[in-house]
Amino acid sequence: MSNTDNDLAPVAAVVVLAAGGGTRMKSSTSKLLHEVAGKSMLSYSVSAAAALAPEHLVVVVGHLREQVTGHLEQLSETVTTAVQEDQLGTGHAVACGLDGLGDFEGDVVVTYADVPMLTGDTLRQLVAVHRAHHNSVTVLTARVDDPSGYGRILRDGDGITGIVEHKDATDEQRAIDEINSGIYVFDAVTLREGLASLTTDNAQGEQYLTDVLTFAHGDNRRVGAHLIEDVWQTEGVNDRVQLARMNLEMNRRIRDAWMLAGVTMVDPASTWIDVDVDLARDVTLHPGVILQGATTVGEGAIIGPNTTLMNVEVGAGAEVIRTHGSFAVIGEGASVGPFAYLRPGTELGRKGKIGTFVETKNAVIGAGAKVPHLTYAGDAVIDEGVNIGAGTIFANYDGVNKSTSHVGRDAFVGSNTVLVAPVDIGPGALVGAGSTVTDDVPAGSLALARGRQRNIDGWMVERRPDSKAAAAAADHDGSIHPAVQESRDKKKA
């Protein structure tokens, strides 16, 4: 069965268990809000559950529930929550989830909020198997090399007789390598009657949901299993070591999928890509690239090395080297870096340039415009064809307000210039190097805003006669360096 099998009838309900304490994560943030490949574990579970188009999608919350419910409101408007005030076991949690839904009929899927690899397609397969065999209960299982800590599947031929938790298992049962994922499909009637029969007569003193399978088998109701080969889809996350392993495996799968789709990764092991990133064909990712959020990269673009982009749109053929950027747009054929910092609101036009040690914020830079070196461009509108000289500062903040400056088409701003916002530099204007501009510059004008240079002849020889500088000055014949003279001659010509 695949994602193309869209004729599967909706299930009556999906109950997602999300009430656990998550104490092994040792965090003030709910375990379920910790991220795998850029999305919370809870979001993966909700997405997988939603693939079944359930009539009811219930998330059972408990520990840090204010955080969990707040996050759920951002994820989906169709999810409802139920509260498990006391942690009395998985059976009790499911009962809390069903409370208030009434005596409906149909299939009920139970899953967990900390199993981020589980897909909607796998849940659809599980439901299809459940229906095809007319089961009262169907459990998703897997075979693992080390089943320690997992509940073991007890079989009698092709049928399932029950599940025994690791702490309650005999030595013979602990040798079983088929484990319970904790993910089930129940007939609603069987589930309600099974929950009503639960006791706490076990090592944990809790109401085990697994005992519903024993109840069903004992009542001659068919209990089946769907064995999955991809064990990772059954893996939960309980601590940060497991979270790191999950991120590593998810990232491996994401990388492999993109490479098979035509993306070059020079060093896949040092490349990290979030699940919502989109890459075109013939993109090249150099070592140390981290692509986060909803970043998109156009065909033939080159990213890295050592570049982090979060929610950045990169146009086709662009090149971004040793750069950190967030919430920015980089146009087709543009060049960024090395050592550039693109803050939110940056928009670089087609074939534009943001160069070495340049920081931009809320800056719109037009097609072909260049901000090549050592510049801060904050709250700036820089039109096409502009050249911003090295060391230019857009002084956008006066201590109270932030203001915008504009540099018109094909204008030139000389090096070491300060534009004190708000100022408007007209199209084709020239601002002399070293200027501090506080007034508008009309189109085509030359602006000079600096004090006249004053030279005091013989100062070094007179004031510091024993210095190396004085000796060098005394030896000099007064001639101009040939390279400078050549440049002056070119200007005169």
Catalytic residues: 373
CA–CA gap between residue 225 and residue 133 (Å, rounded): 10
CA–CA gap between residue 73 and residue 87 (Å, rounded): 24
CA–CA gap between residue 388 and residue 357 (Å, rounded): 13
**Is the bond leading into 422 cis (omega within 30 degrees of zero)?**
yes
**Is the bond leading into 338 cis (omega within 30 degrees of zero)?**
yes
Quick one: 483 exposed, middle or buried, by C-beta within 10 A (0-12, 13-18, 19+)?
exposed
Extract the tokens encoding 72.
Answer: 């759920």
- CB of 310 closer than 8 Å to CB of 326: yes
CA–CA gap between residue 301 and residue 315 (Å, rounded): 7
First to last CA, the chain: 78
CA–CA gap between residue 331 and residue 382 (Å, rounded): 14
